[in-house]
Structures are given as C-alpha cells and as structure tokens.
Amino acid sequence: MRRGYFITFEGLDGSGKTTQLRRLATALESEGQSVVTLRQPGGTPLGDRIRGILLDSGSESAVGPIAPATEMALMFADRAQAIAEVIRPALAAGSILLCDRYTDSSEAYQGGGRQLGSQRILAMHAAACDNLQPDLTLLLLPPLESALKRARRRNQRHADKLGVDEGRFERESDEFYRRIYDKYEEIAAPEPYRIFRIRDDASIDFIHTRIREVVAARL
Ligand code: TYD
C-alpha cells in the first residue's frame, strides 16, 4: 500500500497555524489530492472528550488542578487514539494528513512550558505513538516579542468572550510562553529537514505561499 504524507503544524497560541492548515487543505484538495485534517487534542470521539477535560477552563473546578504529568498522559492518550483511528488509516490509504499540533506540542508545552523536560515526553512518544514522526512539520515561530504579543492578544480575545471555554492554557503567563518558545527552537535546531521554520511575521497570504512552495517541493 502506498504510504501517504504526514504534515504537522506547530507554533504558539495565536500563531495562525490553524488558518494556514485550512488554506493548505483547500489548495491541495483543489489539485485533486486526498486530504485528511485533524487537530490535537481532539479529532476522534474519545479525543474530543479528552480535549474537554484538558482545555475547558471550568474543568479545574470540576476535577481539581491537573498535574503536569497527568496533562502529558492525557495528551498522549488522545494522540494514541488519533493514530489508531485516523492517522495510520489515512496514511495507509495514501492521503495527505494535515495535523494541527502533534508531539512537538507536548514537548514544547509539557516538556518546556510545564518543565517536565524532553526525555519524559520522548519516552511517552515511543510508548504511545510507536515513535511515528511527521514527514514535515511547519513551525510558525516569528521572533519572540511578536509571538508573545500574538499569544497575549489571543488570550484577551478569549477572555473577552463571555462564558469562554478552552481558556486554561491561554491564561498562562509570559514566562510559560517563553519556555515554550525556547523549547520549540531547541526542537527545531537539530532537525532542519523535518521542521521547516517560518520566522516571518508576515501576512496570511505571504506565509501561505511559502507553505505551498515547501510542500510542493516535498510531495
Ligand atoms: P487549541 O484551542 O487547539 O489551540 P491552538 O489553536 O493554539 O492549537 O488548544 C490547544 C492547546 O493545547 C494549546 O494551548 C496547546 C495545548 N497543547 C499542549 O499543551 N500539549 C499538546 O500535546 C497539544 C497537542 C496541545
């Protein structure tokens, strides 16, 4: 069976990766490619329930504070299910799989942000994901100051919305986001082929064009 192509999108909150993922999916589909999209956490019935626990800002009052190691384990429980239910079947069918966040997010957020360290995340990746790696990761990481500004702006937008959910991660401090940023840089440095880092703080159209170019070159 022909193996498809596995692309992940990574970056801080508010980096615009979800918009870019949708635009890429539309562009590839219009070329006649078979495209499957997925977001993490979530994307399967079980994963959506796990997402509810992880991101709902009300959940801490419902279940008590979530310990960092629990958070890590829930992210990987979600991911293991997505691999079994969506990712492996899509790749086996020869589709292009576009995934909004994957293990690099766990390494950046739980490993860096929550300070669990990379080793524990990579051990979980081996155990839960059989080390399945993307063929290409598009990392939207502009310079630190503008990345932080975007994350903050998104925090504010969420906070302004009445009765907002999924705010737990976004209430985190600048220090938390700085550690995530540094970890992303650390992850990207030794893997320039898998991880294509987009440093520009440019328009959606400009970044979309760059993404199209790199994907076209790889496919
Ligand atoms: P989401 O609303 O999907 O945000 P975004 O559009 O920024 O991806 O929420 C996902 C949140 O979960 C985001 O703050 C990052 C966090 N996260 C982790 O901490 N670890 C992980 O492994 C994943 C997949 C996400």
98 DSSP β-pair partners: 7, 37
20 close to ligand 1 (CB < 6 Angstrom): no
- Indicate which atom in ligand 1 lies nearest the CA of residue 76: 22
Say if residue 63 is exposed, middle or buried (CB neighbours under 10 Å; 0-12, 13-18, 19+).
Answer: exposed
Give pTM, 2 decimals.
0.93
Residue nearest to atom 11 of ligand 1 (CA): 169
Query: In tens digits, what is the pLDDT along the chain, a chain of 219 residues?
Result: 458 999 999 999 889 999 999 999 999 999 999 999 999 999 999 999 999 998 876 666 678 889 999 999 999 999 999 999 999 999 999 999 999 999 999 999 999 999 999 999 999 999 999 999 999 999 999 998 888 888 888 777 766 764 555 566 666 788 999 999 999 999 999 999 999 999 988 899 999 999 999 999 999
- Ranges of beta strands (E only) in 133-183 are 136-140
41 close to ligand 1 (CB < 6 Angstrom): yes
Q: Which of 56, 79, 81, 109 to mutate to test the pocket of ligand 1 (most atoms within 8 A of CB)?
A: 109
CA of 128 to the centre of ligand 1 (A): 18
Residue nearest to atom 7 of ligand 1 (CA): 13
Which residues, 6+ apart, have CB-to-CB distance to 90 below 8 Å?
4, 36, 97
- The H or E element spanning position 5 is strand 5-11
